[in-house]
Structure 1
Amino acid sequence: MSTALPLADRKPLDVAVIGAGQAGLALGHHLARRGADFLLLDAGPEVGHSWRSRWDSLRLFSPAEYDSLPGLPFPAPAGTHPTKDEVADYLAAYATHFRLPVRLDSPVLRLHRDTDGSFTATTPTGMVRARQVVVATGPFQTPHVPALVGRLHPLVPQLHSAGYRNPTQLPGGGRVLVVGAANSGLQIAAELAATRPVTVAVGTRPTELPQRIAGRDLFFWLTTSGFFTVPAHTRIARRLRARGDLVIGTRSRDLRRRGIDFRRRLTDLAGRTAHFADGSTVDVDAVVWATGYRPDHSWLHVPGVVVDGSVRHTAGVTDVPGLYFLGLPWQTCRGSALLGFVGADADALSLRMAADAHRSWQRAGFRRGPATPAFLPR
């Protein structure tokens, strides 16, 4: 779905949402219900593009009954694990079902705050002004590759997990080094091991859990125990964050039985030779960097929001009036960045935004009447 961009000199929108992924769409649902004049700006050519462009065999860890956004159940049988294309299809259908105003092919190149307190977003297709802005670009922004990548022989193929689609991208038969042992790294290593030797370099070893426990899917137990809703400010949440992400369904011990070679942290590359923290080496024919992502807020020209590379916020609310974030990992709880759980944060944030807009309206000296924006709480 696409909508024409407002001109920069027209009356500002109530809200501009940067990103039309799961977080932005969930917020859009709540904004529409509250009558806001809003627009979702997305860099992709279609809703769901970021999911559709991931590796071919990717499936969600969470069963379909845990993958719904507000107001529209995920269209798959309970207990099944949707593919990445099914997720992309669902997000596109969600935008269409609720007639959400999405502007595609519109990455925000610059966001700044105007002298009147509103915001202007600059995109390749025009400028958008809004009284409030929500950054919903998600945790997967810029693929991270260690600096030692430059020491790899130029004829050795390499790619980040963000660019991996299937084993045909890499030379057949040669040894592949997968750097990283979180979910992406182990899943890719398992797929590659069917056709070639694989070595996995393990930096920090995450906690590994099976997909099913005592005959029930792991997500049943995690949801029942309140794992996904532990408030981010609590002591137990801080302990969970320190342990890193869970690896679900792919066990390193099972991969060892299949012949995958596990090594300690990668410390150096010299031509085709990889060096590891335990002093061992191995010659490789290709490298897959499953080394995660880093946030990119270089386009955000609003002082005081990003400090030392991290967003300064409380439950998505920044110190800059009218500027918010949604879909950040641990924004309010463990589920904040997950497809089936971001809706709760979206609802809470939309209520907070309406209350903030109401206070701004009152401070400006306005009173309720026929011209009162529908977005404001009644």
Structure 2
Amino acid sequence: MNGPQTATTSPRLVDVLVIGGGQAGLAAGYHLRRAGADFVVLDAQERPGGAWRHAWPSLRLFSPAQYSSLPGRMMPAPTTGGYPGAADVVAYLADYEQRYQLPVVRPVQVRAVRRSGECLQVDTDAGVWRARIVISATGTWWRPYVPHYPGLDAFQGQQLHTAHYRGPEALAGRSVLVVGGGNSAAQILAEVSAVASTTWATLRPPRLLPDDVDGRALFEVATRRQRALQAGQTAPGVGDLGDIVAVPAVREARERGVLKAEPMFARLTPTGVAWADGTVLDCDVVIWCTGFRPALTHLAPLRLRGPGGAVAVEGTRAAGEARLYLLGYGDWTGPASATLIGAGRTAKQAVAEVLTQL
């Protein structure tokens, strides 16, 4: 099977089935293709690009293109200069998929993965697949997380999550509350504050990384920490350095003096939010930049999730199911595995183990 395919209702047996055609799934596909493995990638999206296709247009990576690439193919530097944006990543992933003729079948919605004798059975809206090994690489974008606060349903204004934000234009002239202390919150606040009245609420004072620290350094820190932990030692993690990469837009907002955060409020009101000391703020829009959770509902029949919803892993292999690997969900599936460079390196290790198992 060569290149992107059209969904089919015919069942098929493969050695390896990858669920998800985003950066982690494609990185796994690259290494499987090089090894000559019998595999297929099932992707729920109608076109290449993974979650990047759904991000807001001005989103920027934290690293230059050469440090934001998947294995085998360097990401071209953006023609506009600076760090690559979401559209640059979409174009890169589409080219990557085509260049290596990865057997991606789309659009296919995976409904469930279940045990079936010596194989894992993958139920989809395009029929049933059976595989000796399944690699789940569905990411987190599809499960936006909004923490519960009293009055959440009482607020009469507009509520958005990072996953649904599309740009500042529709917010011009309005009063906007941005919630969250990470990179998405800082980047969104930076551009919304140029057209609207903004307030920033965070659980703790936001910490900008030094201007010369970007994704390259963060990946190396995450890698060193994981190796140290595996050796029973301690080492600083990314969180010890800071929370926010000072990309150009964030630096500009810092110079304008808008990166000033208020402590987290206690509840929402019909017209805004209120703090425990009685302070209130009226606002038109709340943007929740509060992260995501792993999209793992398709694995429910395997009953692998423990307290808190986590799946125990040994490296990237599920501790409770040796035929299942998980890629790209965060540090628990490899250092910085939710980033482009991290996904590529983690996939290489996982596929090497898969091939040995086969």
Q: Tell me, yes or no, whether TM beats 0.5.
A: yes
Q: CA deviation at 1:252?
A: 8.9
Deviations 1:198-252 (A, max 9, x none): 001111345321343xxxx6445556xx314225263476752665973101669
Structure 2 SS opposite 1:109: strand
**Is contact 2:313-2:333 (8 Å) kept?**
no
Amino acid at match of 2:224: V
Give the direction of change, closer, same or farther, for the CA distance of 1:222–1:304 in structure 2 (3 Å limit).
same
**Is contact 2:181-2:203 (8 Å) kept?**
yes
User: Which residue of the partner structure matches residue 327 of structure 1?
Assistant: 328
Count, aligned residues: 347
Q: CA deviation at 1:153?
A: 3.2
User: Which residue of the partner structure matches residue 94 of structure 2?
Assistant: 92
User: Which residue of the partner structure matches residue 262 of structure 2?
Assistant: 263
Give the direction of change, closer, same or farther, for the CA distance of 1:51–1:187 in structure 2 (3 Å limit).
same
- CA separation in 2, counterparts of 1:280 and 1:334? 41
> Identity percentage over the alignment?
35
User: Which residue of the partner structure matches residue 103 of structure 1?
Assistant: 105
User: Which residue of the partner structure matches residue 364 of structure 1?
Assistant: none
- Map residues 325-364 of structure 1 onto 2, 5 A cutoff: 325-331=326-332, 333-357=334-358
- Map residues 196-275 of structure 1 onto 2, 5 A cutoff: 196-212=196-212, 218-219=214-215, 221-222=217-218, 226-232=220-226, 234-235=228-229, 240=237, 243=240, 246-249=243-246, 255=254, 257-259=256-258, 262-275=261-274
User: Which residue of the partner structure matches residue 297 of structure 1?
Assistant: 296
- Of the two, which has the highest radius of gyration? 1
Deviations 1:160-194 (A, max 9, x none): 11100111233x32210111121111111111111
**Is contact 2:138-2:295 (8 Å) kept?**
no
User: Which residue of the partner structure matches residue 61 of structure 1?
Assistant: 62
User: Does the alignment pair 1:131 with 2:94?
Assistant: no
Give the direction of change, closer, same or farther, for the CA distance of 1:228–1:200 in structure 2 (3 Å limit).
same
Give the direction of change, closer, same or farther, for the CA distance of 1:237–1:219 in structure 2 (3 Å limit).
farther
- CA separation in 1, counterparts of 2:295 and 2:27? 22
Deviations 1:47-83 (A, max 9, x none): 1041021111111111111011111111116983111
User: Which residue of the partner structure matches residue 141 of structure 1?
Assistant: 142
- CA separation in 1, counterparts of 2:216 and 2:330? 21
User: Which residue of the partner structure matches residue 287 of structure 1?
Assistant: 286
Structure 2 SS opposite 1:293: coil
Structure 1 SS opposite 2:52: helix
User: Which residue of the partner structure matches residue 32 of structure 2?
Assistant: 31
**Is contact 2:222-2:238 (8 Å) kept?**
no
Out of 106, 113, 116, the residue aligned to residue 115 of structure 2 is 113
- CA separation in 2, counterparts of 1:52 and 1:220? 23
User: Which residue of the partner structure matches residue 166 of structure 1?
Assistant: 167
TM-score normalised by L of structure 2:
0.88
Deviations 1:92-119 (A, max 9, x none): 10000000011122121111110x2211
- CA separation in 1, counterparts of 2:239 and 2:246? 21
Deviations 1:307-332 (A, max 9, x none): 12001101101131211111131146
Amino acid at match of 2:221: F
Q: CA deviation at 1:140?
A: 2.8
